[in-house]
Amino acid sequence: MTIPRQGRIRLVLSLLVILVSIISLMTGQMYIPPLTIIKIIASNFIPLTPDWSPTVESVIMNVRLPRLAAGLLVGAGLSISGASFQGLFRNPLVSPHILGVAAGAGFGAALGILMSDSLVVIQISAFLFGMISVAAAYLLSRVYHTSPVLMLVLAGIIVGSLFSALTSFLKYIADPMNRMPAIVFWLMGSLNNVTGKDLLYVGPVFAACITALLLIRWRINVLSMGEEDAKAMGVNTELTGAVIIVCATVITAAAVCISGIIGWIGLVIPHIGRLLVGPDHRYLLPVSLLVGAGYLVAVDTIARSIMVVEVPIGILTALIGAPFFAILLRKNRPGW
């Protein structure tokens, strides 16, 4: 039986994600052979006589494995959120940060860093303010009843600018020796502080929202045709749009609360997906998910390996994403 082209692409991408994940577990300041990694992970399920040091096991189980899982979740979540938003707003320049959720979550994280040394407080504050920013954008967009999509985007820009200004104010009043560097480093994005406990909290959130977007991905095709056409085909545009916005917002807020602000993934990765499988969201969302997951893990591996001091992920994603997006704009292919 011949596998369809989209199926072959997903299979190749899945294998690439597995390969990148293995390399990520092996690579770092300490090289660990793949056979040792397999033995360490298997020892948690079956009894094995350890022939590795406790330090190596701690590096794999407490540092690299949670970091790998977080990279897969955040990369997949931001990518599928960006693809969903671009279909909903019928604009290939839209990203998951368009409604101000990243700016709000960044302000919440900065406020948490300023008020407490607890990582849990910082993460909760980031998540709450991310949700508050989107709620504020939605309420502001309801002031006018014409062009609801356009008003929602404009309201998101307003709210995002407001929270960005508030974050700058917090950096201005923060202690320049301790608090301000911590705020700046958080805003640049990193998976350095992710723990297994964090994944227990945010993992189900990512899984539920990603699953919801995958289940309604065919409806995004209808929405991208226009609101009137979607209603004529029997799609509840308001409910579907609300589900997409809520899921994408929750994913973005959850990503910021564990990894800081990582830009360009939700904007660039869906374009790569369209180059591979076209604009049909039935195929675009799964492919974007796989590409985004593998891409962020690869970037994170580079970030913690190229220098003795870890490079923030947000810097690398911008350095890679901006030139790539410029190439896409130069090609200017119509019919996205």
CB 179 within 8 A of CB 115: no
For residues 302 and 316, give the distance between their C-alpha atoms in angstroms, rounded to a whole number: 9
What is the residue whose two structure tokens read 């189900």? 204
Please name which of 247, 257, 240 lies closest in space to residue 210, comparing C-alpha atoms.
247
Contact 191, 259 (CB under 8 A): yes
Predicted confidence at residue 99, as pLDDT, reads 86
How far apart, in whole angstroms, are the C-alpha atoms of residue 159 and residue 314? 22
**pLDDT string in tens for the chain (336-residue length):** 567 888 899 999 999 999 999 999 998 888 899 999 999 999 888 888 888 888 999 999 999 999 999 999 999 999 999 999 998 888 888 888 888 899 999 999 999 999 888 888 998 999 999 999 999 998 888 876 656 677 888 889 899 999 999 999 999 998 888 888 889 888 888 898 898 888 998 999 999 999 999 999 988 888 877 777 777 777 788 888 889 999 999 999 999 989 988 988 998 999 999 989 988 999 999 999 999 999 999 999 999 888 878 888 988 998 888 888 787 777 655 444
Structural domains for the chain: 79-262 (1.10.3470.10)
Alpha helix stretches (DSSP H) within 90-225: 101-115, 119-141, 148-173, 179-188, 196-215, 217-223
d(CA 175, CA 164): 19
Structure-token match 């990503």, residue found: 255
SS (H, E, C) 25-87: HHCCCCCCCHHHHHHHHHCCCCCCCCCCCHHHHHHHHHHHHHHHHHHHHHHHHHHHHHHHHHH
Give Dmax over CA atoms of the chain in angstroms. Answer: 68
pLDDT for res 47? 85
**Each residue of 275-328: pLDDT tens digit?**
899 889 999 999 999 999 999 999 999 998 888 788 889 889 988 888 887 877
The total of other beta-carbon atoms located within 10 Å of residue 32's CB is 18
310, two tokens: 């870890």
Q: DSSP assignment of 272-311, as one string?
A: HHHHHH-S-HHHHHHHHHHHHHHHHHHHHHHHTTSSSSPP
**From residue 96, how far is each of 120, 138, 161, 178, 296 by CA, in Å?**
24, 15, 15, 30, 16
pLDDT digits (tens, 9 = 90+) for 110-129: 999 998 888 889 989 999 99
CA quadruple 80, 83, 87, 88: dihedral sign: positive
Q: What is the DSSP letter of 312?
A: P
> Do 106 and 163 touch, CB atoms closer than 8 A?
yes
- Residue 149's pLDDT is 72
- Residue 270: per-residue pLDDT: 93
Q: What is the pLDDT of residue 146?
A: 59
Are 288 and 273 within 8 A, CB to CB?
A: yes
Q: Which pLDDT does position 158 carry in this prediction?
A: 92
Neighbouring residues of 298: CB distance < 8 A, sequence distance ≥ 6:
20, 24
